Amino acid sequence: MAAHLEPRARRVKVLATLGPASNSESVIAALLAAGADAFRVNMSHGTLPEKAALIAAIRAVEKSHGRPLTILADLQGPKLRVGRFAGGSATLVNGSGFRLDRVAAPGDDTRVHLPHKELFAALRPGARLLIDDGKLVLRVTAVATDAIDCRVEVGGRISDNKGVNVPDVVVPLPALTPKDRADLAFALDQGVDWVALSFVQRPEDVAEARAIIGNRAALLAKIEKPAALERLAEILERADAVMVARGDLGVELPPQQVPPAQKRIVAMARALGKPVVVATQMLESMIVSPSPTRAEVSDVATAIYDGADAVMLSAESAAGQFPVEAVAMMDAIAREVEADPGYYARVHFSDSDAGVSTADAISAAAASISHTIKARSIVCFTLSGSTARRAARERAALPVLCLTPRIETARRMGLVWGVHAVVTRDITSFEEMVEKAKRMALRTGIGRGGDPLVLIAGVPFSTPGTTNVVHVVRLTGDELNGR
């Protein structure tokens, strides 16, 4: 990449979902200019050729703008749905009985087909079934091998193929459906940078996806099931990052329990040094309005104050009337929050685990030194990206300049707090490391003459996982005369 765009004037990253409102190269470029750092491709909708064209458009913008761009492929996951109704819908009355069965015939106001045999074995009397994002609530009264009898607690209109949420039990569904496996193979062949795994319930779900993905992409676990909250630490240990997916989580949990759950997920991810994305309905009103509500602005600000690595736009940028404005608003909120004199004190309310390795100690020391000497940037050399992630988790009040010879590593940094990634030739000596760090700091605009920099790297060079050097240098402003 010939050019190097200047770093963002903020640390938190903006993840924008692409869709019908933002599927052209020109709009993607406008989203990038407005502040998007990463792009979500939702595998639940559209065809694979459409996704291939979308990914190609992102890569074209990446090439023309000289900034590594992050692509996250979001798998649909095992979504549960009822069958079809005669006439397309039915009305369920409060207090009446309703049966879900294994008969494929069209349903009515007394029964409907449920094409998920796993539920018949997992459900017990007393469990709830939430239909159509919780608009209807059924309480299980009896379960047989071919029928689930329920009482309607919250009735209303139910129509074909509406979603079913089961908050009270762990359903033994595979983490990856046949569609997910096909979509995952496609996404990996297309060279996406992150894969989001939907409806994670157990750490084994993450392990199943990891076995297929290997090192071809980073793996993000979406937390949207109460069962996942019960095993959150184990899931985080196996995933590369986590998302607070408040859509389905807000259906399966009472609404008032979602904010504490969000706080807990963010805090635990921060403690383990794993990137965390806060998502869903952040600027929902901007789907149809050029400006958000004050409550939405506060919601985004809260996630940033908590130290989230990234905040996400869903329908706002994918299908809304104001996709570019939504990204620009997210960017503006982030800048304002991070300009707050109390921001860094708030961010450090939840400290990360210092770890026990030499690399962990070096990263913690670099953050401490940078604060003491008022450094302009932490510059890290990395092959895998682990050094940059360790530096980012310290939440130092300065940017992390990530220099890597691998475009794949640079692209993955789009979900990591405070990291500006640049693809550059590898280094072979300590002297080359120092000179290249200086040149790149000046070239990207991160540093100016007289600024101190804190360098972290691993010796021997080009060996992943060997972070063992911290070094302080000062820019003179003449380094650009070098190579």
Q: Which residues are catalytic?
A: 40, 81, 222, 280
187, 133 contact by CB (below 8 A):
no
Question: CA 278, CA 284: separation in Å to the nearest integer?
Answer: 14
Question: CA 191, CA 51: separation in Å to the nearest integer?
Answer: 12
Question: CA 187, CA 196: separation in Å to the nearest integer?
Answer: 11
Question: CA 357, CA 306: separation in Å to the nearest integer?
Answer: 26
Question: CA 116, CA 455: separation in Å to the nearest integer?
Answer: 55
